[in-house]
Each structure stands twice: as C-alpha cells, then as structure tokens.
C-alpha cells in the first residue's frame, strides 16, 4: 500500500527558513503606521521591518 501524501506546503530548502523571532512592543498608532507603510510598498509588515532595519544597518 503506497504512503499517503503529506498535507500542507512543501518543506523549505535548508537555510531558507527563518530560525529566530524578534518581539517588540509598539503603540497602536505605530502599528497602524507600519501596516500602512508596508501595504503601500506591497510588503508584509515583517518584510518591511526587515528591509528597513537592513537598510539602516548599511547606512
């Protein structure tokens, strides 16, 4: 009898999955600003924060 297919998304290649999380506290107004800015750039909030922090480190 064949093995049943696994449900869900396929596993990510080694090294491409995010391993750590960073939790911060923000005000509701800051969160709304982050969400609006990310949406305007067609990014998730996480993507926007990552790109913004990376750019700040390179500056």
Query: Does residue 31 have a pLDDT over 80?
Result: yes
Q: In the Cβ-directed half-sphere of 1, how many Cα atoms lie within 13 Å?
A: 2
Dig out the tokens for 26 from the structure: 């923000």
Dig out the tokens for 30 from the structure: 């800051």
Cα separation, 41 vs 48, in Å, equals 8
Helix (H, G, I), strand (E, B) or coil at 3: coil
pTM across the whole model:
0.69
Cα separation, 31 vs 25, in Å, equals 9
* pLDDT tens-digit map of 36-47: 999 999 999 999
Dig out the tokens for 54 from the structure: 């990376």
């Amino acid at each position: 009898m064949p093995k049943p297919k696994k449900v869900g998304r396929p596993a990510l290649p080694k090294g491409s999955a995010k391993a750590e999380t960073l939790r911060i506290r923000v005000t509701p107004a800051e969160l709304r600003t982050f969400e609006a800015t990310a949406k305007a750039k067609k990014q998730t909030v996480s993507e926007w924060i990552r790109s913004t922090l990376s750019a700040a480190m390179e500056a």
